[in-house]
Structure 1
Amino acid sequence: METVFSKQLQMLRKQSGITQEQLADKLGVTAQAVSKWENGSYPDGDLLPKIADIFDVSIDNLYGRGEERCSFEQQVLNHMRAIADSNQDFSAEWMKNYLNIIWAMQLTAWRECRYYYDLPDFKDSNGTVASECTCNTGVTYMRLNKDFRYFTFIEQPESFAKQFSDIDKLSELFRFLGDKMNIKVVMYLLSLDNGEVVSASTIAIHLGYPKEKIEKALQYLLSINSTNKEVLEISVLRPDNHTEKVYGVRNFMPEMIVLLTGAFAVLNQPHGYQTSVNNRDYPFFDRKDMSFIKVGEKNEEK
């Protein structure tokens, strides 16, 4: 006969995504014992605290009393929301907790790791130290050095290669970045505050390049996306009733920083790993999806 306890135990176990056998292993009992508990019998009283700890609930909750257990995702949201609500300037603490949560997720891929430990304090002098996990459905990568930490999450879609099928636009972007002046223009723009604007002439003076070349670089950046541009162009009316173009950035849009960080990752590949888990069985790209590069055919530059 089902009891409140048996219903709660079954619900908590299924919500946690573990089998009766896995729960039994954690408790040091047989799977048959767990099955009996879910069908009306009760465990020894000494096991109740351990069962409650496994499901992160109170013992009262095992008997249907107290607050219902919320999902892990809701617990994370509640935790981060409490930080955001605690004070006006919560950004530093929020980012620190966000980093710790990401690090905890990285540790879960390492089967031998059973307990959370703080992010190691790697210095830049160690060379890049990373944590990565690759599987058939995606990739995570985390640079751990304290001087510059970043995290990448890629959920691999079907026909992954087709996401990069516009070779013309890709090659145009890389050609643009192949000019040192253009990279300097991008970095200069990233030094502007929100609402701060600058003319091509001013950039030319600061960087030591012809104004015409600076304007060409700015126009390319403006052409990349027709809406929600990271780079802004504004017309300013001068005393002689002529207008002058000035430029700014929406510094809440991080695409250019993401681009530079990706380049940094390629140029500073890991010297070592804190955790490295590779469960991939396939290449990232499937050649049958890559007709746009004429795989197996001779390509001629136009």
Structure 2
Amino acid sequence: MELTLGGRIQTLRKQRGITQEELSKAMQVSTQAVSKWECGGTPDAMLLPRLADYFNVSIDYLFGREEQAPERLSDLVFQKLKGLERSKQLELAFEICYMMENAIGKIPHHEALPDQESFMMQEGAEPLLYQVLYDDVYSCMRLNEEFHYFLYVPQPSCGFLHALPAQEEFEELLAFLNKPHCFAMLFQLSKCPQGRGFQVEGLAKKLHIEGSDAAKILQDLKKRQIVTEIQLEKENGVEPIYVLSEKPGFLPMLLFMAAYIQSGVIYGYFAMDRELPILDEEASHE
């Protein structure tokens, strides 16, 4: 039996785990309207493009005309994720990361964590780390109820040593961040809501330092593009405020520094088959 337009909408909705209420909000119609579609009614023609975009299908597909299915796995994953509501989307994305980690690490099926979701929901459970260190890839993930992440880094053809800045640049940056009040200032800036920043006086007060010292640190951070200066127009003129730059480095830096600070971490699996040094001159993929 061929599905009607409403039947196809209902099928797409259920496949993606979306409620009638969620669909009605996305389409800006009543829940009753969605129910009528699925019982044989027809949506307004103006809604068809929005429905097609929402479910990531063509209008032809909604009307039952044959549509070629995506051939690439990445397209299928994209369509699946796009059709889910936000919390389920994030859950599935991390579940895919977990499967990737097991596959990349060549973890035997019987040794893989049988129920990653149940483990992560165990209140008070110790963090569980997975790590893969091969000549062609480095990856790691942390499983925990509230705090979990996944990192995947294919080995560059030139090797990590040449892909990364020189050792001296790392030493210089660490020495700079170790200057009095510098790292504390970054912490304060990171606590500021997005779109808002601190004035020099505000940061000086937070850190209990002189305004001139705060201004000097901010200018040094600005030169390194760690902090951005924004000119705020006020009645008595223009006043600068400071925000963290859009570079993605600060939070990842804290995440991986935490691995050297926190104890009690348990390895779920550590797959190491690497023969090259971590900072090798050149990678070999033969």
Q: Determine if the TM-score, normalized by the shorter chain, exceeds 0.5.
A: yes
CA distance in 2, matches of 1:126, 1:180: 37
2:244 equivalent to 1:249: yes
Would you say the 8 A contact 1:110–1:275 is kept in 2? no
Aligned-residue CA RMSD (Å)? 3.1
Contact preservation (8 Å) 2:160, 2:281: no
- The one-letter code matched in structure 1 to 2:196 is E
Once residues 242 and 124 of structure 2 are traced to their aligned partners in structure 1, the CA distance between those partners, rounded to angstroms, is: 38
Map 1:1-302 → 2, pairs under 5 A: 70-83=71-84, 90=86, 92-108=87-103, 109-113=105-109, 117-119=115-117, 120-121=119-120, 127-157=126-156, 158-179=158-179, 181-225=181-225, 231-237=227-233, 239-241=235-237, 243-249=238-244, 253-268=247-262, 271-286=265-280
User: Could you say what secondary structure the match of 1:198 adopts?
Assistant: coil
Larger radius of gyration: 1
Cα distance in 2 between the residues matched to 1:279 and 1:121? 27
- Quick check: 1:124–1:147 contact (8 Å CA) kept in 2? no
Aligned-partner Cα distance in 2 for 1:268–1:184: 19
Structure-2 separation of matches of 1:238 and 1:103: 50
Identity %: 17
TM-score by length of 1: 0.61
- Cα distance change of structure 1 residues 110 and 124 upon mapping to structure 2, 3 Å threshold: farther
Q: Could you say which residue in structure 2 is the equivalent of 1:295?
A: none
* Aligned-residue offset at 1:79: 0.9
- Give CA-to-partner distance per residue, 1:86-131, whole Å, 9 cap, x none: 5xxx2x3322221111011122234421686333227696554201
Contact 2:139 2:150 (8 Å CA) reproduced = yes
Match for 1:143: what amino acid? R
Question: How many Å apart are 1:179 and its aligned residue?
Answer: 3.6
Is the contact between residue 227 and residue 244 of structure 2 (CA under 8 Å) also seen in structure 1? yes
Amino acid at match of 1:77: F
Q: Which amino acid aligns with 2:258?
A: F
Report which stretch shifted further, 131-140 or 144-153.
144-153
Specify the alignment match of 1:56 in structure 2: none
**Equivalent pair of 1:235/1:246 in contact (CA under 8 Å):** yes
Q: C-alpha distance in 1, partners of 2:281/2:198? A: 46
Contact 1:107–1:275 under 8 Å retained in 2:
no
Following the alignment from structure 1 to structure 2, what is the Cα–Cα distance between the partners of residues 99 and 189?
29
Do the aligned residues in 1 keep the contact of 2:162 with 2:281 (CA within 8 Å)?
A: no
Segments of 5+ residues of structure 2 without an aligned counterpart are 1-65
Q: Distance in 2 between matches of 1:102 and 1:206?
A: 39
How far apart are the structure 2 equivalents of 1:203 and 1:123?
39
Counterpart amino acid of residue 121 in structure 1: M
Contact 1:128 1:269 in 2 (8 A): no
Letter in 2 for 1:275: Y
How many angstroms apart in 1 are the aligned matches of 2:253 and 2:107?
33
Q: By how many angstroms is 1:240 displaced? A: 4.6
Please give the alpha-carbon distance, in whole angstroms, between the structure 2 residues aligned to 1:188 and 1:201: 13
Q: 1:95 to 1:160 in 2, by over 3 A?
A: same
Work out the CA distance in 1 between the residues paired with 2:251 and 2:82: 26
Distance 1:124 1:180 in 2: 38
Q: Secondary structure at the match of 1:285?
A: coil
Q: 1:265: how far off?
A: 2.0
Query: Once structures 1 and 2 are overlaid, which stretch shifts more, 108-117 or 131-140?
Result: 108-117
State the 1:189 CA deviation.
Answer: 0.9
